Structures are given as C-alpha cells and as structure tokens.
Chain A
C-alpha cells in the first residue's frame, strides 16, 4: 500500500528560498493574511471551525471552537500565544516546520490574532531551540520590514506585534498554563483551572494558545477554504499531519500524511520498515506520553478516533519504534526517567510517583527486582493517572501502565531470572 497526495504543509520544503520573505511571497505567502484582513473576525473563526482543524499539540481540540471561546468585550486586551515549546520525546515536527517555512507560522499567527482582536502575540520557543529562534527572529524582522507586522499591517488599520520569548528548558512549559506563568516571568508550574486561559490567560486576559502546526495550517484554510482542507484526512480528523517517526526504523524523520493513514503505511512504505528488517515490538503513536501499542496494532489508522479506540492517543504524532531486540523494562525506565526529571514538583503523585517508579523500574531492568515490585508498579499507574494537577503525570503513568499491560511476562521474567531476558545492557544514568 502506498500513499499519494498533494503535500500541503511541507510543499515548499524543497525550496530553501521560502525561508526568506521574498521567496515566501513569491509562492503566495501573506496572501491569506491580506484576504483575512478583508473579513470580519467572526467569519475567520467560522471558516476555521468549518475546516474541522484540530489542535496538533496533542489534545486535538478544534481550533476554531477554541478561538470562539475568547470574549472580546471584557475591556482587556486579548492575546495569541504560540506554543513552540516542543519537548515531547520523539517529537520534532514543529522544529522542522519553522526551520523550513518560518513565515507561514507568522502568517498563521497574524490571522489568529485578527480573529480574536489580538494586538500583541507571543511565540514561546523551547529554550533548546536556539537555531529556530534565530530563524524566527530574522523572519519577524523581515515581516516588520515588509509591513506585515507592526503598525497598520499589510496596509490596513490593524496593528500587530509579535514577541519572541525563549523558554529556559522545561518540558512542563509546554503545558499551556505553565507556559503562561513562564511567559509572565514566574515559575513554570501549571495554574489552577478554571479560570481557563480563554477567559483569564496571559496577564489575566483572554488568551488563545495554539501549537505551531495548528497555526501553520490556517493560511491555506483561509485562502482555499474549509472544503479543500477536508479533502484529505477523515471526517472527524480532517487534513494532513506531520508525523515524526524515530527509533528502530530505516528512514526516521518528519513525514506529512493525511490523518487516518495506517501505521503500516508510515512505517513500511514511508519510513522503509523496521531497522534491519527486524520485527516490530512496540510503538508510541504520539510521543512517550501516549500509551504503547504493539505489532497487533500495526493497521491502526493514525487519526484521533482510531488511535483512541486502540487504547492510546494520537498526541503529537511522534511514532517511536521498538523492535524485538529492545527491552521494554529498559525503555519504560528511560521514559519514566524523563518524567521524573521533568515533573515540575508541584503535586505529590507526579513528583514522588515518577521518582519512585523510575527507581523501581531501574532495579527491575538491572535484575534486582522483587516479586513485590510488580504490584507496586501496577498501583503506580493507577495512583498517578488522573490524580495529578496536570496531564504531565498522566503521560508518565501511560508508559508504566501500557508497558505492564502488554508486556507483563517480560517484567516477570526480569524478576524471576534476575537479569534481562533479552540480555539488553541496562545503562545506568545518573539523574
């Protein structure tokens, strides 16, 4: 089975010229913004709603609906905040999108700003993305120069500033309320909801927070219409999405595919199959915070509904592939270590639970597990999942839960043999 379609978000990736504003405009860039300037904000929102565009950051919430929640009569300013704190393990599609096509992000952001009456938008860039923030910085400068940002954008009477803000390297700041805290100069820890950001977000003002890929989808929707957008993808998950595939595959990388494309197509046709022709053991559909699936799920269509039906989440579309030589306990411990390290510390189950789980998993992986450790690990998933302040801990619990669900024999063998049955050398990393 193969896949043929007209590339959308990645269509200009082969042309390095679009990185500069002239090249971008030569390909029709900023025409969508000019078009949007002729429309009422409500009409822009309706168009995006009609397209069915869903948030690409992981939760999949319809973008147009999110925009429509923003009250515009509070007397307070409204804000668009771009969540470019892309930190989910296995995920780097936002990075490449910005690297190769930075102006499309600015254009999408500007259209979102028009839709909610925002005059200052913020791009929150992951701290480690230095190169991307330089690219964006240059692009923003060009956009000001060309009159697409600043006072009276594109010859209109609308003003818009975009502020680029670099984070300091914390996964939690991808959580939208922690991002807002960080952007305001406070400690990056999630806020209590309600109030939701749409009502009281940045500086206690109505705020829309969108993922990079979501906003980059917007210019085409405005210019070509919702029907065009819906030509690809499924009824409930329309459009295309960038999938990041990594791990034990022949050709890892970012690939744009219509939503609903089965994993088998992505893995075998697009990414060249499992590395070295070995067999698939387990995979994540959307980064390490989505529950592991197995080879049994290889025909799962990659859209929000189908992945959920298979017992996981589409997340960021970051597929990480484990083959039959990989130790699941080792993999689970590595992923759990990430969450133990990135837990913001605010709430007990996440802070203590991930810390404990990482240690127990490490012991099991090294062959020092006890039979009593397995019920502890089963409880861990139960007591962390949906009990913490924010969703970070749910991601940690997902790893533990799903690895035990699908591979409990492998855990038991570790304990019984006192070593890894696959003889995988467990690498002890000091945290």
Chain B
C-alpha cells in the first residue's frame, strides 16, 4: 500500500502501522508505549499525527495504513506539534526531576523526547504525586512508581511475551501504578527485559542501580556466552569492568529480548577467581611466561599420548584451531566437546547441514514437536519464540518427562526419560497412539512442521535419530538443539572423535578432503569420546590431558570417573578463565581470554554464525584460545598455518564452505537405554537456568531472584509407595552414591521418574551419575533432622 507521510511517498504491506511506515522513511514520531514487538496500546498518546480527512488527530501507533492515506507528523503540522508538546507537558507533571540521579538519565526516551519535542518549561504549580520508592519487585528489579509514565510496556511484556503475568496496573487515575501481588516476587526468568524496554527510569536493574552514568560507559557488540540461543548483546564497561548486558535488537535471533541469566550473569570475566597469568607446576603452581609453559607442555606432548576435552563455550575459530591442533600436532582423534551421546551418527549431517530450522521458521511454523527440551530453562529465547509461534496459532506439543513452562500454550505428552525414542519410532509401520495426531498434523503442515530435539534426548543413543526420522517421514524440518553457547561450533569444527570439520568423517573418503588442506593425517579412524578419554586417563592410557574450558569434576555425568581420571593421568593442562577446583590437579595453566575479549564467531543452535566484537583487551596475559593453540603448535614443532584471524578465516572458509551432507552409515556403538529394575525409579537431570555454573559467578542478585535450592521431584504415586511426604527429606540412592534432598511431590514429573537439577548450589547431581544423565535410583524417607538446615547432601559414594 502506498501512502504519503509529510508529503513523502512510501509503500508498505497492508496492516503496517503508520508509525512503522514513518520509520521506513526515516521520519521519527515520538512515542513511549509503542514497541514493535508488543500489541498496540495507544496509551501514552505521544505519537499523534493528522490523517487527512479525519476530524481528530490519530495515534500513529494504533492506526494501520490505508492506500492513498496522507499523514502529517509534527514536522509538517502545527496542531500535531502542539498536541505532542501538550502531551509531554502532561507526562512531566508528575514525573520527578531527578534525572541527575536516575539510572536512565542520559539514555532516557522521556528525557530525549522532552528535549526534542517538549515545551521546555513547566506551567505546573501544584505538588507532585508521591509514592514510596523504590519498591523491590525482586532481587533483580526495582520499581520507582513516581517516574513511571504508565505506558504499560512492562505489563504487556509479561502478558504477551513471557506469559509470566506478575505485573499489573493497579488503581486508577493519577493514582494508577504498576504493581505486583503482595508477597509475590517478580520471579520470571525474563524480568530484566521490562527494565530495558521501560521508557523512563521506573524499572531499574538492581545490579546496575547507581553503577554508572551512560557517558561513563564504553561498550561493544557481542553474543551471549551462556546458551546456544545466540542472543545479541551489548556489553557495557565502566573503567574496564563489565557493569551491564543489554539486548541488541536482532529480529532473526533474539528479537529484542534476553533471559535474566544472559542479562545478569555478567561478572564472571571480572571474577576474583580469574587467573590471567600462565602457571606451571613446580612445587606449587607458579607464574611463568607463556614461552616457558608452552615449552614444558610441548615436552610432555612429544613423549606422550594426548587426550583433549573441551566444553561448549569457545569460539568457532578456537574450535577450528583446536581440531587442527589435535589432529596435525597431537596426532590424535581423542578429542571431544560433548558430555553425552550427542546426536549419535546423525551428527555428521547436522554438522555440515547448515540451518535447517531458524527462529523465523519456528515463529512461522504450524506444528512444533519439542522433545527432550525444557526450553525456558535450557534455551530461554527459543522458549519465547515458541510462545510467539503459539500466539500466532501454531500447535505445540512437548514430549518431556517434566512439565515445562510451555504448559499454558502447548500440549504435553508426559513420558519416562528415555522413552522418547520408543514413542517416536513406528511399530509395524504405524505411529503409537500417543503420538499419532502429532504425526498427522506434521504431515499436513509439510515444512511448516518442525521437530526440535533437545539435549536431553542425546542421553539416549537412538533418540535424536528417531526424532529426525519422525520429522523427515512427515516432510518436516528437524533441529537438534544443544545447550551450551557454541556446542554447535565445536561440532562443525570437528572437535569430535570421528568427525573432522564440517561433518566430514575421519573414517572414510571424506578424510581426503581434509588432508588436502591439513596435509596427511596420522590418526586412527575414530578416537575415544569424552567417556573413553576419561577412562583411558583413569587407566593411565593417556599421558597428557588437555582440559580446555571444561571442569570434569562438575561438567560430566560421572564425578567419580572424572576424579579418578584427574588423579591418575600424569599431566593435566588447563586452559580456561580460572582454575577453580582444578587448582590441585593442573600441571600447567594457560590463561584464556573471555568472550568479550576476543574477536570471532559463535554458532547458534540453528547453525547461524554470529560475530563477536572485541569489547576490551584480554585481561593480564590472557590470550584468545586459538592464538594459544597456534603458539602451542609452534612450540611442539608443528605449524597450524595461521597467525592472524584473517589467515585463520581463509582456511576455515575452505573447509567449512557449504557442502552436501550425508547420513553416515556408521553403526551406533552407544549403550542401550538406562536399565531400571523393579522397584527402582529412573532419576534424570538437566541444569536449570540459574544454577551454580562457573559463568554465573558473582551473579548474586540473579541467584537470589531465581535459583532454587536443591530438590528432588517425585510423582505422588511413587512418593506414596515410598512413604515420602512433600517437603520432607528423602534419601536418593544410586549405584554411584546417595544424597539427601527435600522432596517436591508433584504430578508435574512423570510417574516412575525422579528429577534432580544438575548443578544446583550445594548439590552436585553428577555424584549420583555413572556416565549418563539418567540412572536407576531408589528413594527412602529420612526422619526430619532436628536442626534447621533442610539440605544435607551426601558425597559421591565412589569418590
């Protein structure tokens, strides 16, 4: 539709609001309540325009364009400008003039627009409205009701976007205010978004309150280091320290949102635990130069067998360099970034498979099956996109042993952990009755049908493949969603025991393509996976164990095995931000730069590569991981062949260029589903959003707001059989150990299963595990102890 705004013509799709059409022409219309991702409110009345032929002024945020419409803004119509001035005068009547002490001062839409369009002077002689302030809505968000202009962005965000309807407008007239139910905390993992979209300083972040003035800040663009959602961040620094994360608008990824972990867990790069000097073990760990440490490591590598373990949080460039380092210098395939079975033999196709599902596909889908993913807790921004899809009419089905926060917009098919593979496979050519209607809907939806397999499915060797087959049978799309920020990048780079870069197998002819760039590879067909590496280390079949951004004691589902490996392997090289629990084991430490100190890319769960800016210089002597790998290669007498990012990117471009993928015909060697005997329950675990992870160090307000103390969830029928009451202590026993935890008896966990969160402060669930994220367990009631401490945590039995 073509219309004219201030005499300039613009053509926009039908349904576009006038204010959006004006944006396309670069015409700014002042506004407060309008937000492109929220439904029109028409509440603040700031965006008046004149529509020719209409007697009254209109609010441009509520009126869709019409063909041939002629619109005048404040730039070309005096009455519009006058109305906007008057409205600003109204808004400022009760707004306190405390800009000099307000967090928003200097970056405040009200301040900016009052300056640009306001009357400049006040005719107001009365006393302003007074409220008690600030009101703590939660340990993260504080409310100053005097500054509030009642635009209802925050309440609409809670209603329309997160669905966590904690905030509501209360009372009326000039006494109207944003409120929360008495005694209630704003316990939404998306609460911080309301602060960012507040057009004044009414909602403020507790961690940022009075921390900085906008003109004190330096900042840069980055990508959130926490999960695989890939949210676009602005990192704000004051005198070099991170003081704030803000969401950057990126409608293909995070819209304009962040989860509270992404927003508030920002202190880890400045943690007092951070080590920024290379260390070498002499009597104790002693500071040394990079040269000395690298030379020592080169000596160990030269004489020994090497295994490499890494987490999922390095950059694409780091992983590529590591993949090449392991193969060409360490001559091993014993490297892995996973801590589960991964997607089994589907991984090659995933690694080289580009972006089969994007956020946009999710938003526009008609049917979505979410299997093995608690999206709100594991990939929160995907959760918001799923809610958006539901809002647009998509049918969402969640296959999961535990109720998820999609409960109000999705159907839930409860199952025992591990039963997903069984449920998704056909029996005699037919789908099982529980899943039949989903399969039918998927077939009807064609490529608007999506199956999302979450990281929990990877605990079971066939499940991810079954989910993929289920999708392809119906002609739908399939995505395997990993949890950590760059698991996908690690997989693509070939940080994997039998996959080389871009999903090429090291077992067959693919290998030649890699050798044409890297030179001949002197490595076995397949190396050991993370579990094999830990077992080999424990059995002294490995001499040097590299731990790159990973803490085996905390990250792997077998604390006892990790401990044996660390105790038995002769040389441990740690490359990370800090040593933490590895301090007593490390023989050498290489200080890595944090995500905001590096330039490079990370890959979202979709497969989308996103660039990180170097927001600040690496602290101390720390260096980007790939640079350390390149130097280590030289120290070992090898050469990765790149010294600059440009050279590295050029080589990555060769090996990571798009290519046809194959479904590798590799026999799956994974274990069978977790066995459970009669009388036993199946314990399963995954990390909740706010846990004791190392990237949440220092995020005390976040933990105070959202962290749960450790617990075990038990279905009422199982609790009844075992004689366990809700809230009482229960002893959970597995082959690996036992723990005493407070019971949450709830129908929201499937009968026959137990849920414990993976890494909650005060309880490391991996002390109960033996190599998988599920295990057979028994429960017994514990007589309540007389003392006040409800949590008594047993140590790992085998440790």
Contacts and interface: CB of A to CB of B under 8 A. Distances in A.
B126 A360 contact: yes
B90 A356 contact: yes
A408 B570 CA distance: 97
A342 B123 contact: no
A172 interface: yes
Interface string A331-354: 000000000111111111101111
B655 interface: no
B729 to A, nearest CB: 41
On chain B, which size bracket covers the interface? 35 or more
Interface string A198-234: 0000000000000000000000000000000000000
Interface residues of A, number: 35
Given A172-B172, A351-B176, A387 B94 contact: no
A351 B168 contact: no
A387 B48 contact: yes
Contacts of B176: 344-346, 351
A170 B172 contact: yes
B93 interface: yes
Interface string B155-197: 0000000000000110111111000000000000000000000
Nearest to B124: A356
B93 A187 contact: no
Interface in B81-122: 83, 86-87, 90-91, 93-94
B48 A347 contact: no
A192 interface: yes
Interface centre among B43, B44, B149, B152 (most CB of A within 10 A): B43
A348 B91 contact: yes
A96 to B, nearest CB: 28
B744 interface: no
Interface in A310-349: 340-349
B93 A389 contact: no
B663 interface: no
B150 interface: yes
State the main secondary structure of chain A at its contact with B.
helix
B181 to A, nearest CB: 14
B125 interface: yes
Contacts of B45: 347-349, 387-389
B69 interface: no
Contact of A347 (B42, B86, B126): B42
Nearest to A362: B126
Contacts of B124: 356
Q: Is the interface of B mostly helix, strand, loop or mixed?
A: loop
B169 A386 contact: no
Nearest to A340: B173
B172 A383 contact: no
Given A355-B174, A386-B57, A348 B42 contact: no
A379 B174 contact: no
Interface string B355-396: 000000000000000000000000000000000000000000
Contacts of B173: 340-345, 351, 354-355
B44 A348 contact: yes
Interface in A157-208: 170, 172, 187, 189, 192
Nearest to B56: A386
Contact of A372 (B41, B83, B123, B174): B123
B57 A348 contact: no
Nearest to B89: A383
Nearest to B88: A348
A370 interface: yes
B770 interface: no
Interface in B43-89: 43-46, 48, 55-57, 62, 83, 86-87
Nearest to B59: A389
A363 B123 CA distance: 14
A376 interface: yes
B87 A356 contact: no
Contacts of A379: 86
A359 interface: yes
Interface string A277-311: 00000000000000000000000000000000000
Given A352-B94, A356-B126, A383-B83, A347 B44 contact: yes
Contacts of A340: 173-174
A340 B129 CA distance: 13
B123 A352 contact: no
A388 B149 CA distance: 15
A348 B123 contact: no
A360 B45 CA distance: 23
B524 interface: no
Given A192-B62, A352-B94, A356-B93, A346 B43 contact: yes
A339 to B, nearest CB: 9
B90 A192 contact: no
Contacts of B150: 345-346, 348, 351
Contact of B174 (A172, A345, A347, A389): A345
B40 interface: yes
Contact of B168 (A187, A347, A354, A373): A187
A356 B40 CA distance: 27
A346 B42 CA distance: 9
Given A192-B40, A386-B56, A388-B45, A353 B90 contact: yes
Interface in B9-62: 40-46, 48, 55-57, 62
Contacts of A382: 86
Contact of B172 (A343, A352, A387): A343
Given A356-B126, A370-B125, A344 B43 contact: no
Contacts of B55: 386
Contacts of B129: 355
A192 B90 CA distance: 22
A192 B149 CA distance: 19
B93 A355 contact: yes
Contacts of A346: 41, 43, 150, 152, 176
Contacts of A343: 172-174
A302 B126 CA distance: 40
Contacts of A355: 93-94, 129, 173-174
Contacts of B152: 346
A392 B180 CA distance: 27
Nearest to A385: B56
A348 B149 contact: yes
Contacts of B87: 348-349, 383, 387
A343 B45 CA distance: 15
Nearest to A383: B86
Interface in B423-465: none
A359 B126 contact: yes
A393 to B, nearest CB: 10
A345 B93 contact: no
B126 A352 contact: no
A165 to B, nearest CB: 20
A192 B42 contact: yes
A170 B43 CA distance: 19
Contact of A387 (B83, B123, B125): B83
Contacts of A363: 125-126
Contacts of B91: 348, 352
A345 B172 CA distance: 5
B756 to A, nearest CB: 38
The 6 closest A-B pairs by CB, nearest first: A345-B176, A355-B174, A383-B86, A352-B90, A343-B173, A386-B56
Given A170-B172, A344-B173, A379-B86, 17 more contacts: A192-B40, A343-B172, A344-B176, A345-B171, A345-B173, A348-B90, A348-B150, A352-B90, A355-B174, A359-B126, A360-B126, A383-B83, A386-B55, A386-B56, A387-B48, A388-B45, A389-B42
Interface of A: 170, 172, 187, 189, 192, 340-349, 351-356, 359-360, 363, 370, 372-373, 376, 379, 382-383, 386-389
7 contacts: A342-B173, A346-B150, A347-B44, A348-B45, A348-B150, A352-B93, A355-B173
